[in-house]
Amino acid sequence: MAQILDGKALAAQVRAQLETRVAALKARGVTPGLVVIRVGDDPASEVYVRNKERMCQKLGFLSEVVHLPAETTQAELLARIAQYNGDARFHGILVQLPLPAHISEEAVLAAVAPEKDVDGISVNSLGALTRGGSGFLPCTPKGILRLLDSAGIPLRGKHAVVVGRSAIVGKPVALLLLGRDCTVTICHSKTQDLRAITRQADILVAAVGRPKLLDGSYIKEGAAVIDVGVNRLESGLCGDVDFESAAPVAGYITPVPGGVGPMTIIMLMENTVEAAEKTL
């Protein structure tokens, strides 16, 4: 039976470390500040933004949520970002995705000053990740690596299979695993015989958004299984991995909820503290 990779418990440990860093910053007159900008009324975004705001408050950050109407123009949004780029009270700016279809996600993310891109998903930060530069790491991939490391799971030379190739999870986590000397395979919706590939994975990351797509038959005995998926069913939240059939086969597995989700939020907080520390 797999060992549970408990993201909630690990996030609580990281939080305790951050509290010390926040206290040290405040002693030097700096309060970490994060502004979250949300456009429109995507219901899942509302929950994510609220969770981020709550965590900011728990950590004693300066926290601001800007909720703009769905009709906001791209120019108006860019102007707000420029305003916060120039506001020294805020060390991090997060634009909650998705944005309404008339706004270019790429243009908006690129407008966030690199030193404030604590979400780490702008072209600038992802470029730095590709080139081995010094941008902020995207929160979900960073949290996944932290979970693997906390359990002492060896990565060098291992075969990592990432299912999903989005710019915010699949691609950057593949790059991070590559950077840690994994041999990486990235799968997506056009991949043929997905099962034959995932069954070779020592590390399997599922970032798809399809409830229980990967059952136990997709998993290699003893593999570390990271389930990023958050799918809302009538019966509640579930991941992309069928936990019931996967857990007896895997060596390690993240639950949903309580796995990757709490790590994503705490990594955002960590990046914001880092951004604030860099201003000293």
Catalytic residues: 52, 96, 119
Question: Does residue 253 touch ligand NDP according to CB under 6 A?
Answer: no
Residue with tokens 């880092």: 274
Q: Tell me which residue has its CB nearest to ligand NDP.
A: 166
Subset of 145-174 contacting ligand NDP (CB under 6 A): 163-166, 168-170
CB of 258 to ligand NDP, least distance (A): 10
CB of 198 to ligand NDP, least distance (A): 9
Residue closer to ligand NDP by CB (options 32, 138) is 138
Question: Does residue 49 touch ligand NDP according to CB under 6 A?
Answer: no
Please state, in angstroms and rounded to a whole number, the distance separating the CA atoms of residues 214 and 163: 10
Subset of 119-138 contacting ligand NDP (CB under 6 A): none
The answer to whether 162 and 202 have CB atoms below 8 angstroms apart is: no
Stretch that binds ligand NDP, among 14-22, 60-68, 150-158, 260-268 (CB under 6 A): 260-268
CB of 179 to ligand NDP, least distance (A): 19
Q: Is 159 helix (H, G, I), strand (E, B) or coil?
A: strand
Q: Facing residues of 160 across strands?
A: 184, 203
Range 23-28 contact pairs with CB under 8 angstroms and sequence separation of 24 or more = 25/273, 25/276, 25/277, 25/280, 26/60, 28/280
Q: Is 206 helix (H, G, I), strand (E, B) or coil?
A: strand
Angle at 239 (CA atoms; ends 262, 203), nearest 5 degrees: 80
Question: Does residue 194 touch ligand NDP according to CB under 6 A?
Answer: yes
CB of 26 to ligand NDP, least distance (A): 28
* Per-residue CA distances from 156 to 20, 153, 178, 204 (Å): 32, 10, 9, 14
Residue closer to ligand NDP by CB (options 62, 237) is 237
Question: Does residue 209 touch ligand NDP according to CB under 6 A?
Answer: yes
Radius of gyration of the chain (CA): 19
Question: Does residue 205 touch ligand NDP according to CB under 6 A?
Answer: no
Question: Does residue 231 touch ligand NDP according to CB under 6 A?
Answer: yes
Question: Does residue 241 touch ligand NDP according to CB under 6 A?
Answer: no
Residue closer to ligand NDP by CB (options 22, 144) is 144
The answer to whether 176 and 145 have CB atoms below 8 angstroms apart is: yes
Q: Which helix (H) or strand (E) holds 54?
A: helix 43-58
* # residues near ligand NDP by CB under 6 A: 26
Identified binder of ligand NDP from the candidate list 10, 187, 205, 266, rule CB under 6 A: 187
Residue closer to ligand NDP by CB (options 25, 147) is 147
* Per-residue CA distances from 26 to 50, 62, 92, 273, 280 (Å): 24, 11, 16, 11, 11
Stretch that binds ligand NDP, among 82-90, 115-123, 149-157, 207-215 (CB under 6 A): 207-215
Please state, in angstroms and rounded to a whole number, the distance separating the CA atoms of residues 127 and 167: 11
Residues within the interface to ligand NDP (CB under 6 A): 140, 163-166, 168-170, 187-191, 194, 207-210, 213, 228-231, 260-261, 264
